[in-house]
Amino acid sequence: MRPAARIQSAIEILDAIIAAARSGGAPADRILADWFKGNRYAGSKDKRAIRELVYDAIRACGPVPETGRAAMLGLVEERPELRDLFDGSQYGPAAIVDGERVAEGGVAPEWLEDRLIASGIEQADAEALLGRAPLDMRINRLKVPEGLPDLPEPGEALAAPDALRFPTGTQASGWDAYRDGLVEVQDHGSQIACMAVGAQGGETVIDLCAGAGGKTLALAAAMRNEGTLVAADTDRRRLSQLGPRAERAGAAVSAEVLLDPGRELEALEPWLGKADRVLVDAPCSGTGTWRRNPEARWRLSEAEIARYVKTQAHVLAIAAELVREGGSITYVVCSLLDEEGPRQMADFLAAHSGWQAQALDLPLGTERGDGIRLLPSRDGTDGFFIARIGKS
């Protein structure tokens, strides 16, 4: 495909992404995959170039743009060399007309930028939320008890003891070490969140919002497969991915528990008051993960954030029922909004006597309320809030 035709294709894909963001439709990645499936003439270089144009244009627009063309013209402001490709040629975009609508730049829609500012996120921190994430991996100590696995590239050692970083765009899915479960793809921040749990072999540990088990596998490794590790979630599809992943990683998960929303404690009855540690990796607005998912900021609403805050309080209350005296809850969100992090924790502590915030001994992060915050700008990780509270 000619470069101009790639631009026009990216514009059409952006139109579909914008419509989906407005209507709660398919995510950008799925729309791209479907477009590639339906347009087989696009070769691998075309696909890479179109994908990059689409994501760069998404990053260039703060609020939801009106059209794909306006979004692409927003990108042209940042990359003037693209202007000449608007040449009106066959399959290319029409020439730019004076006064044509250009999408607004910025980090996010204004109301959301205001919320980030109110949560102490400075301009440079906010801009870094839209950077490109490197590929972080965790060496699976269940399969590589010490040293390094044999990898095609060495990777950079990071602060978390088993973390390695590779350049943005590294494709690890074809690596033997990945296929054999010697390494797991996991953001460095996510690895640090697992460290905060402090899980030890022989304990009873519950991953209450386990999803597809990314953190469950890290907990199994920390526990050296000794003790009781329970993975629970309300989402059947996500939880069903854990089994095959755990098998590949050689991770022992004692029970996978599908929860009925609103009646979670019924299925968790065997562990009431028994857990040494519960990880609550709560559903959240995901404002810390825009590096991977920049279009997510077009989908958020104030009402949705309020719903997340309510669900977070709900899962924390469930966790509190599971922990034994002397045990702890580690609360994690990949959001940088105070209402989902420090304020959520403060509200929990105010409403539940016998619980205290615990100091965290982590290699990265900045104090925020009763926990710590990780930021792409300062820590090179996705954005997270992490706190641990203990029951006396």
Ligand X SMILES: C[S@@+](CC[C@H](N)C(=O)[O-])C[C@H]1O[C@@H](n2cnc3c(N)ncnc32)[C@H](O)[C@@H]1O
Nearby residues of 204 by Cβ (< 8 Å), 6 or more positions away? 227, 228, 230, 271, 274, 275, 276, 277
Tokens coding 55: 């994501």
Q: Does 281 bind ligand X (CB under 6 A)?
A: yes
- Only segment of 79-87, 256-264, 321-329, 340-348 that touches ligand X (CB under 6 A): 256-264
Q: Which of 61, 194, 284, 334 is catalytic?
A: 334
Tokens coding 160: 């978390």
Q: Does 341 bind ligand X (CB under 6 A)?
A: no
The count of other CB atoms within 10 Å of the CB of residue 2 is 14
Q: Does 233 bind ligand X (CB under 6 A)?
A: yes
Residue among 117, 146, 141 nearest 129 (CA): 117
Q: Does 235 bind ligand X (CB under 6 A)?
A: yes
Q: Does 136 bind ligand X (CB under 6 A)?
A: no
Nearer to ligand X, 65 or 376 (CB): 376
Contact 247, 223 (CB under 8 A): no
Rule CB under 6 A: choose which of 74, 106, 181, 283 binds ligand X.
283
Supply the minimum distance, in Å, between the C-beta of residue 48 and ligand X.
27
Q: Give the total residue count for the chain.
A: 392
Q: Does 249 bind ligand X (CB under 6 A)?
A: no
- Examine the residue annotation and report whether 194 is marked as an active-site residue of this protein: no
The count of other CB atoms within 10 Å of the CB of residue 358 is 17
- Only segment of 77-85, 86-94, 205-213, 354-362 that touches ligand X (CB under 6 A): 205-213
β-strand pairing of 275-281 with 323-333: parallel
Q: Does 288 bind ligand X (CB under 6 A)?
A: no
Query: How many residues line the site for ligand X (CB under 6 A)?
Result: 20
Q: Does 382 bind ligand X (CB under 6 A)?
A: no
DSSP 142: T
Environment class of residue 350 by beta-carbon count within 10 Å: exposed (0-12), middle (13-18) or buried (19+)? exposed
Distance, in Å, from the CA atom of 119 to the CA atom of 122, rounded to the nearest integer, reads: 9
Contact 55, 66 (CB under 8 A): no
Rule CB under 6 A: choose which of 214, 341, 365, 376 binds ligand X.
214
Is 150 annotated among the ligand-binding residues?
A: no
Q: Does 215 bind ligand X (CB under 6 A)?
A: yes
Nearby residues of 142 by Cβ (< 8 Å), 6 or more positions away? 220, 221, 224, 225, 249, 250, 251
Is 233 annotated among the ligand-binding residues?
A: yes
String marking each residue 297-336 x if it binds ligand X according to CB under 6 A: --------------x--xx---------------------
Nearer to ligand X, 72 or 232 (CB): 232
Q: What residues pair up with 280 in beta bridges, in sequence order?
A: 331
Residues that bind ligand X (CB under 6 A): 208-212, 214-215, 232-235, 238, 259, 261, 264, 281, 283, 311, 314-315
Active site residues: 334
Residues contributing to the annotated binding site: 233, 281
Residues contributing to the annotated binding site for S-adenosyl-L-methionine: 233, 281
